[in-house]
């Protein structure tokens, strides 16, 4: 039924309920003239702002027209600042205001720093919750934030710390994760000292910059677990930054240049499969690279947390050394919220003997974030610290001694916040390695120039 029978005396089909667009609707419905509604005006010589808002207008209107702000209480930045100007809805409303000629990119650019791109807002949005993507109108705040940041850079508006950071990364082909300490391309494999890992091959382990230089215990744990399971893999010949952070901060050209380098390098070593331990890389390789290269990007991307869960399931890895710790697990935003990966890390943790695991359900964790993503710690470290402190407060309420994460980028800010409440922050791969009897080595604080000797 699309149309109730028109009762006698009803003047026209609009006076009774109907479902617009159904084939059996009366023709009269399409024949009403319209006093107001018009097709949007097509600008022949659009300004850069007009071009930008033309592309993003409807995406932002989908949020603006809802305006209910359910996203607000799960937004990590909002939780610590309580500043409505830095909420997902504001990010969309600004675009609408730009479209109406009320705000300019110069006026709005600074506000868009205040986002970790964790994606919680998208999950909590009624547009997503209620109808999924049925109308292809899912709210995509992360994309809008990235787009505005890119438009700002394109317009010559830079955030000072991001600008420096990207310039340095460009210079070194790596992110300056160690601040002023110089790192070079030849240091990119220092973390693997003594592990005897070949270069290239069908499967290559890609190690993000934070893990390669700062938290070297993480890639060491991953590599040794793979070796223990007899999984053949190599390292990249010349590994550049994945380009993800540049893309997140709006430095699109740089991001694509880096991506091109990496893709070419994989081609040169016959690589078919990339093993990824960092959730941010996982986003780059599964979302950004396919966008840049289309079908040319035909490599398989394997998240090692998922691989390890599978190897444990198959009996190829059997954690047996008890780890006597009271833990809870921090779902990295890019795994749980953005990619829906939450089961496998828990599977791994449940397989480790000795752990007293106080789990928090994955939906509750939508409102948790370390604050370490989206370039926030580069431009506003104090906000990252506040968000991490808030995360650790929640862990402390569970009376645990250890917070386990699966994201190297979260671990530095979480560890710093953990000191205040006497909670250790440990990487899930390291914890698994310990239970497999592996002496990991490496550092968790970037000491000794990131090398692991």
Minimum CB–partner distance for residue 179 and other proteins (Å): 26
Residues between 227 and 286 that touch other proteins (CB under 8 A): none
Residues between 142 and 161 that touch other proteins (CB under 8 A): none
Give the residue, chosen from 51, 55, 100, 419, that forms a contact with other proteins under the rule CB under 8 A. Answer: 100
- Contact between 17 and other proteins per CB under 8 A: yes
- Contact between 18 and other proteins per CB under 8 A: yes
Cα 176 to Cα 23, 165, 345, 412: the distances in Å are 60, 7, 29, 14
Nearer to other proteins, 86 or 206 (CB): 86
Give the span between the Cα atoms of 61 and 310, in whole angstroms: 42
Give residue 101's region: left, alpha or beta (phi > 0; psi -120 to 50). left
Nearer to other proteins, 127 or 239 (CB): 127
Give the span between the Cα atoms of 100 and 97, in whole angstroms: 5
Give the span between the Cα atoms of 40 and 378, in whole angstroms: 40
- Scanning 104-154, the segments in alpha helix (DSSP H) are 105-108, 120-124, 126-131, 141-154
Give the residue, chosen from 8, 45, 135, 156, that forms a contact with other proteins under the rule CB under 8 A. Answer: 135
Give the residue, chosen from 24, 36, 186, 314, that forms a contact with other proteins under the rule CB under 8 A. Answer: 36
Minimum CB–partner distance for residue 139 and other proteins (Å): 9
Minimum CB–partner distance for residue 398 and other proteins (Å): 12
Minimum CB–partner distance for residue 389 and other proteins (Å): 16
Cα 262 to Cα 90, 189, 237, 255, 303: the distances in Å are 36, 15, 10, 11, 18
Residues between 44 and 63 that touch other proteins (CB under 8 A): 57-58, 61-62
Tokens of 66: 């809802």
- DSSP line for 102-118: S--HHHHGGGGGS----
Give the span between the Cα atoms of 375 and 176, in whole angstroms: 12
Give exposure, 410-444, as e/b (b: 16+ Cβ within 10 Å): bbbbbbbbbeeeebbbbbbbbbbbbbbebebbbbb
Give the residue, chosen from 53, 116, 127, 384, that forms a contact with other proteins under the rule CB under 8 A. Answer: 127
Residues between 412 and 441 that touch other proteins (CB under 8 A): none
Nearer to other proteins, 131 or 164 (CB): 131
Give the residue, chosen from 93, 95, 235, 327, that forms a contact with other proteins under the rule CB under 8 A. Answer: 93
Binding range to other proteins, per CB under 8 A, among 12-20, 206-214, 277-285, 439-447: 12-20
Minimum CB–partner distance for residue 134 and other proteins (Å): 4
Nearer to other proteins, 94 or 271 (CB): 94
- DSSP line for 4-46: PPPPTT--SGGGS-B-TT-TTS-GGGGG---SS--PPPPPSS-
Give the span between the Cα atoms of 223 and 229, in whole angstroms: 10
- H or E element, residue 356: strand 356-357
Give the span between the Cα atoms of 212 and 443, in whole angstroms: 10
Residues between 61 and 90 that touch other proteins (CB under 8 A): 61-62, 64-70, 72-73, 82-85, 87, 89-90
User: Which residue, chain included where needed, has tokens 């780890």?
Assistant: 323
- Contact between 37 and other proteins per CB under 8 A: yes
CB–CB of 233/201 below 8 Å?
yes
Q: Is 340 exposed, middle or buried (0-12, 13-18, 19+ CB in 10 A)?
A: exposed
Give the residue, chosen from 52, 53, 88, 96, that forms a contact with other proteins under the rule CB under 8 A. Answer: 96
Give the residue, chosen from 8, 9, 20, 156, that forms a contact with other proteins under the rule CB under 8 A. Answer: 20
Nearer to other proteins, 30 or 42 (CB): 30
- Contact between 32 and other proteins per CB under 8 A: yes
- Contact between 94 and other proteins per CB under 8 A: yes
Nearer to other proteins, 14 or 448 (CB): 14
CB–CB of 358/327 below 8 Å?
yes
- Contact between 130 and other proteins per CB under 8 A: yes
Binding range to other proteins, per CB under 8 A, among 101-109, 191-199, 234-242, 432-440: 101-109
- How many of the chain's residues bind other proteins (CB under 8 A)? 61
Minimum CB–partner distance for residue 371 and other proteins (Å): 18
Give the span between the Cα atoms of 62 and 56, in whole angstroms: 10
- The site map against other proteins for 104-123 (x = CB under 8 A) is ---xx--x------------
Give the residue, chosen from 8, 21, 156, 230, that forms a contact with other proteins under the rule CB under 8 A. Answer: 21
> What is the chain's alpha carbon radius of gyration, rounded to the nearest angstrom?
25
Q: Which residues bind other proteins (CB under 8 A)?
A: 1-2, 4, 12, 14-15, 17-22, 29-30, 32, 34-38, 40, 57-58, 61-62, 64-70, 72-73, 82-85, 87, 89-90, 93-94, 96-97, 100, 102-103, 107-108, 111, 124, 126-127, 129-132, 134-135, 137
């Amino acid at each position: 039924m699309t149309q109730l029978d028109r009762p006698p005396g009803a003047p026209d089909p609009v006076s009774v309920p109907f479902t617009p667009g159904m084939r059996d609707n009366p023709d009269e419905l399409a024949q009403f003239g319209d006093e107001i509604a018009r097709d949007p005006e097509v600008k022949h010589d659009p300004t850069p702002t007009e071009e930008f808002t033309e592309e993003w207008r409807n995406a932002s209107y989908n949020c603006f027209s809802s305006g209910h702000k359910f996203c607000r209480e799960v937004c990590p930045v909002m939780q610590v600042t309580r500043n409505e100007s830095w909420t997902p809805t504001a990010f969309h409303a600004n675009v609408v205001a730009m479209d109406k000629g009320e705000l300019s990119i110069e006026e709005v650019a600074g506000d868009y720093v205040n986002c970790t791109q964790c994606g919680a807002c998208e999950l909590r949005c009624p547009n997503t919750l209620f109808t999924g993507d049925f109308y292809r109108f899912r709210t995509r705040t992360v994309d809008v934030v990235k787009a505005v940041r890119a438009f700002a850079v394109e317009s010559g508006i830079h955030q000072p710390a991001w600008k420096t950071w990207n310039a340095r990364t460009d210079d070194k082909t790596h992110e300056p994760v160690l601040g002023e300490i110089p790192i070079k391309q030849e240091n990119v494999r220092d973390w693997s000292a003594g592990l005897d890992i070949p270069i290239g091959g069908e499967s290559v382990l890609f190690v993000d910059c934070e893990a390669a230089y700062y938290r070297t215990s993480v890639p060491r744990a991953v590599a040794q677990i793979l070796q223990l399971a007899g999984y053949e893999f190599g390292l990249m010949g010349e590994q550049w930054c994945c380009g993800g952070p540049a893309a997140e901060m709006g430095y699109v050209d740089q991001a694509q240049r880096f991506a091109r380098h990496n893709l070419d390098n994989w081609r040169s070593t016959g690589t078919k499969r990339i093993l990824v331990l960092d959730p941010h890389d996982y986003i780059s390789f599964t979302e950004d690279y396919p966008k840049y290269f289309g079908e040319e990007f035909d490599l398989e991307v394997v998240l090692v947390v998922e691989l390890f869960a599978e190897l444990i399931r198959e009996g190829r890895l059997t954690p047996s050394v008890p780890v006597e710790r009271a833990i809870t697990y921090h779902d990295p935003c890019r795994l749980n919220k953005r990619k829906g990966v939450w089961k496998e890390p828990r599977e791994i943790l449940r397989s480790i003997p000795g752990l007293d695991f106080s789990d928090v359900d994955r939906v509750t964790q939508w409102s948790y974030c370390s604050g370490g993503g989206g370039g926030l710690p580069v431009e506003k470290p104090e906000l990252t610290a506040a968000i991490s402190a808030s995360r650790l407060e929640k862990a402390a309420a569970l009376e645990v001694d250890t917070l386990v994460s699966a994201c190297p980028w979260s671990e530095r800010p979480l560890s710093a916040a953990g000191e205040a409440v006497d909670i250790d922050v440990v990487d899930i791969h390291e914890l698994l390695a310990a239970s497999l009897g592996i002496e990991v080595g490496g550092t968790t604080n970037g000491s000794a120039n990131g090398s692991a000797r």
